């Protein structure tokens, strides 16, 4: 194999990482065309945008679109993403092909088009072709733009709102559980976008509420370590993919907002490879 061929193969294999999901999966997203106009980018779309940026290192070409722009488009509802790949450049074409193949691959549970379904993808357009969830197939695309400079991803409303299993079941490493003084449980985990989330029960034995995002910078991995203090406040410590442990805690009492994340280990030659385990000593210090 030539050096050029090896290089292209490596690029073709480049795609984001995904959690090891269980067998439960979303159905295929029905077509939900634009009916109103609110171009504010929706949270699920922003999450996938950030995932692609972390993988490929490029900014997006747009999510929202002016209500006065011509035509009907999910961009006008903030639930479509254009991410740049140049189909006329060998490396970027391989990246675009790899991304699409990753989204549409069959998982280990034999779920076809698994990640596209988990993200609530409605359709994809790339390099003169369109894949639609409602037909489960590719067809030629003849719109005004051949989409040779970007991959277009349109999301249904559940995916745009982070209500599909990519977000609701995508825990990397295991969740960390905390028993509160009132008998309820809180759980903290790193999800697929590399951020830390937490959720809890409203009453002992009740179901868990929705995940609340505790970080925005991404890059976290593994299982968090959570310490609960006597006053009911907590601190959360999580390692990053770069081997640094970051920490945060409540600002002003139990249930309050969290402080900015702070680096707690030096990294570099002392990079952490396993998940942190933090212990609260009897004197109130951490070890």
- Give residue-wise pLDDT tens across range 55-110: 898 989 999 999 988 888 999 999 999 999 999 999 999 999 999 999 999 998 89
Looking at residue 139, what is its pLDDT?
A: 97
Looking at residue 11, what is its pLDDT?
A: 46
Looking at residue 61, what is its pLDDT?
A: 93
Residue 190 has pLDDT above 80, yes or no: yes
Mean pLDDT of the residues in the chain: 86
202 C-beta neighbours (distance < 10 Å), count? 9
Looking at residue 49, what is its pLDDT?
A: 92
Looking at residue 229, what is its pLDDT?
A: 86
Q: Using 50, 70 and 90 to split pLDDT, how confident is the model at 271? A: confident
Burial class of residue 260 (count of CB atoms within 10 Å of its CB; 0-12, 13-18, 19+):
exposed
Residue 265 has pLDDT above 80, yes or no: yes
- For residues 177 and 171, the model is more confident at 177
Average pLDDT over residues 200-208: 83
Residue among 134, 111, 102, 136 at smallest CA distance from 18: 102
Residue 6 has pLDDT above 60, yes or no: no
Residue 279 has pLDDT above 80, yes or no: no
Distance in angstroms (rounded) separating the CA atoms of residues 138 and 23:
25
Q: Distance from CA of residue 264 to its chain's centroid? A: 25
Looking at residue 173, what is its pLDDT?
A: 62
Rg (CA), the chain: 21
Burial class of residue 126 (count of CB atoms within 10 Å of its CB; 0-12, 13-18, 19+):
buried
Question: Per mean pLDDT, which of 104-118, 161-175, 244-258 is the most reliable?
Answer: 104-118
Q: Are 43 and 11 in contact (CB under 8 A)?
A: no
Distance in angstroms (rounded) separating the CA atoms of residues 231 and 229:
5
pTM, entire model: 0.60
């Amino acid at each position: 194999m030539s050096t050029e061929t090896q290089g292209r193969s490596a690029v073709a294999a480049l795609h984001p990482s995904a959690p090891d999901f269980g067998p439960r999966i979303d159905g295929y997203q029905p077509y939900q065309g634009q009916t109103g106009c609110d171009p504010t980018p929706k949270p699920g779309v922003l999450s996938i945008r950030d995932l692609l940026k972390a993988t490929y290192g490029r900014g997006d070409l747009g999510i929202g679109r002016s209500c006065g722009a011509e035509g009907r488009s999910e961009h006008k509802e903030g639930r479509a993403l254009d991410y740049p790949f140049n189909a006329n450049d060998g490396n970027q074409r391989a990246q675009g092909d790899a991304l699409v193949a990753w989204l549409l691959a069959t998982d280990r549970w034999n779920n076809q088009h698994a990640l596209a379904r988990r993200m609530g993808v409605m359709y994809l357009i790339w390099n003169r072709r369109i894949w639609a969830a409602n037909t489960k197939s590719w067809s030629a695309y003849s719109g005004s733009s051949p989409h040779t400079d970007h991959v277009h991803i349109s999301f249904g409303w559940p995916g745009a709102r982070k209500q599909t299993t990519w977000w609701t079941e995508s825990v990397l490493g295991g969740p960390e559980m905390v028993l509160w003084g009132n008998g309820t449980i809180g759980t903290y985990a790193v999800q697929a976008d590399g951020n830390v989330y937490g959720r809890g029960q409203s009453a002992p034995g009740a179901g868990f509420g929705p995940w609340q995002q505790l970080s925005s910078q991404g890059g976290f991995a593994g299982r968090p370590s959570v310490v609960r203090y006597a006053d009911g406040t907590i601190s959360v410590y999580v390692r990053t993919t770069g081997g640094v442990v970051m920490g945060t805690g409540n600002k002003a009492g139990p249930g309050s907002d969290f402080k900015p994340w702070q680096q707690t280990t030096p990294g570099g030659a002392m990079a952490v490879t396993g998940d942190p385990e933090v212990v609260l000593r009897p004197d109130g210090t951490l070890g």
